[in-house]
Amino acid sequence: MSAFLKFQKHLSDELQAIRTAGLYKEERIIASPQSVSIRLKNGKEVLNFCSNNYLGFADDKGLIEAAEKAMNERGYGMSSVRFICGTQDLHKELEASIARFFGTEDAILYAACFDANGGVFEPLLSEEDAIISDVLNHASIIDGVRLCKAVRYRYANADMEDLENQLQAAQAQRFRLIVTDGVFSMDGNVAPVDKIYALAQKYNAMVMVDESHSAGVVGKTGRGTTEQFDLRGKIEILTGTLGKAFGGAVGGFTTGKKEIIELLRQRSRPYLFSNSLPPVVVGAGIHTFQRLEQSNVLQEKLHANTEYFVGQMRSAGFDIKPTQSAICAVMLYEAKLSQDMAFRLLEEGIYVIGFYFPVVPNGQARIRIQLSAKHEQAHLDKCIAAFTKVGKELGII
Ligand SMILES: Cc1ncc(COP(=O)(O)O)c(C=O)c1O
């Protein structure tokens, strides 16, 4: 048997095991732009309640025009990393816009937030230091921490007593960095960044918040957790994505204290050894932040939509996780029920996905709904009516 034949059999067995465990992820095919109303490949039009398109920018005309303008004026690709010949004035402008939005000193762009998180720890910390990480942090933070030699501590999700214990245990190290997601994507809860910051002060630690699901959403004007907890300019490191609220294409960033950003430009591997963001993404990004500087109407609409939707779903009798973001987790507990319900909802014209183990803990299956500023009242009402109809049919409410 050749090496590959043996490996091929191993792969087939692995795939079969995933299927048998009911964990195989199928991809539904969309044949329209990303929006609140989308067309599936089979021609069916459905309302989308599961994208990260929080501010509705994914198919926004202004962003598309800005992207076209940047491409026409600055070309398609950069064919370089930033420090060779891949930095245009547009990249510097977008970095300045991001820093202004978050009230930070500087910002650095990456191809994705996965890269921002993957490239933030290793250049800054070494074996003498400590990283204290929430157990529910995003996979990219977990991977980034693995790439760094710092001593690792973990604390239970948003559990401040546990965080305090870990901080006490980490006192022997030189520098301490607490790291948390701003919004935990499966539940929609916001990390208690005020309490984390207070503990950081008490135990001489720094703080990093991944604002991927909170930027554009959390805080009165959507400036994220540092706005919500009145900590603008105080958190040492923020990371985030351009792939959710800010247009939904690709791109990530780290923003915060200027010396941190300066050292990342020198040593962060995904920045040094990966291509620059293309002008099309950067131009649209600049436009996005200009729009958000001019007006908060989208953030306000998103907040109003979320409040209305969650309130109505609770009144209808659904068990909803406490949320302070645009994520609304409808708890169903059983994996099969979450799949059956998502399937029936699609038949009713509502596109949502059931999440179950291992994405969420065993016995905690749910449907996660994500609201957008682009949802109109009629969309929300149609979704609530469909949930109510299917919920009754399946004996959930
Ligand atoms: C908390 C968090 N961090 C990082 C990422 C990765 O972002 P990107 O898609 O830009 O790589 C995500 C996306 O799922 C996320 O939810």
> Which tens digit of pLDDT belongs to each residue from 338-364?
999 999 999 999 999 999 988 899 999
Ligand 1 centre to CA of 138 (Å) is 7
pLDDT at residue 166, rounded to an integer? 98
- Phi and psi, residue 127, nearest 5°: -60, -15
Phi-psi group of 56: left, alpha or beta (phi > 0 → left; psi -120 to 50 → alpha; rest → beta): left
pLDDT in tens, 282-338: 999 999 999 999 999 999 999 999 999 999 999 999 999 999 999 999 999 999 999
Q: Which among 28, 47, 25 is positioned nearest to 36, based on CA atoms?
A: 47
244 is catalytic: yes
Can you read off the two tokens belonging to residue 115? 């890269």
Distance 307 CA to ligand 1 centre (A): 24
Q: On the CB side of 23, how many CA atoms lie within 13 Å of its CA?
A: 12
The helix, strand and coil proportions of the chain, stated in percent and rounded to the nearest 5, come to: 45, 15, 40
Choose, from 244, 287, 374, 375, the residue flagged as catalytic: 244
Separation between Cα atoms, residue 397 and residue 391, nearest integer Å: 6
Give, using CA atoms, the residue closest to atom 16 of ligand 1: 212
DSSP for residue 320: B
**What b/e readout covers 368-389, taking b as 16+ CB neighbours within 10 angstroms?**
bbbbbbbbeeebbebbbebbbe
Strands of the chain (E only): list them: 37-39, 45-48, 106-110, 130-134, 151-155, 176-181, 206-210, 237-241, 252-256, 327-333, 350-351, 353-355, 365-370
Please tell me the distance between residue 14's alpha carbon and the centre of ligand 1 in angstroms.
Answer: 26
364: closest CA among 328, 393, 337, 395?
A: 337
Going by CA atoms, what residue is nearest to atom 7 of ligand 1? Answer: 113
Determine whether the shortest distance from the Cβ of 140 to ligand 1 is under 6 A.
Answer: yes
Query: Which residue's C-alpha comes closest to atom 13 of ligand 1?
Result: 212
Predicted local distance difference test score (pLDDT) of residue 26: 87
Structure tokens at 352: 């949502």
Distance CA 205, CA 174 (A): 10
- Give catalytic status of residue 213 as yes or no: yes
pLDDT 10s per residue in the chain (397 long)?
A: 688 999 999 999 999 999 998 778 889 999 999 999 999 999 999 999 999 999 999 999 999 999 999 999 999 999 999 999 999 999 999 999 999 999 999 999 999 999 999 999 999 999 999 999 999 999 999 999 999 999 999 999 999 999 999 999 999 999 999 999 999 999 999 999 999 999 999 999 999 999 999 999 999 999 999 999 999 999 999 999 999 999 999 999 999 999 999 999 999 999 999 999 999 999 999 999 999 999 999 999 999 999 999 999 999 999 999 999 999 999 999 999 999 999 999 999 999 999 998 889 999 999 999 999 999 999 999 999 999 999 999 999 9
Distance (Å, rounded) from C-alpha 352 to C-alpha 66? 30
185 part of the active site:
yes
* pLDDT of res. 358: 87
Nearest-angstrom CA–CA distance, 143 and 119:
10
| Residue located via tokens 């900590």 | 231
Residue 359 Cα to ligand 1 midpoint, Å, equals 15
Q: Which mutation among 110, 114, 238 tests ligand 1's pocket best, with the greatest number of atoms within 8 A of CB?
A: 114
The catalytic residue among 91, 138, 213, 301 is 213
Dist. CA 116–CA 368, nearest whole Å: 26
> Which residue of 213, 241, 277 sits with most ligand 1 atoms within 8 Å of its CB, as the best mutation to test the pocket?
241
Token pair, residue 34, equals 């990303």
Predicted confidence at residue 1, as pLDDT, reads 66
Taking the centre of ligand 1 as the mean of its atom positions, its distance from the CA of residue 113, in whole angstroms, is 5
- Report whether residue 112 contacts ligand 1, using a CB cutoff of 6 Å: yes
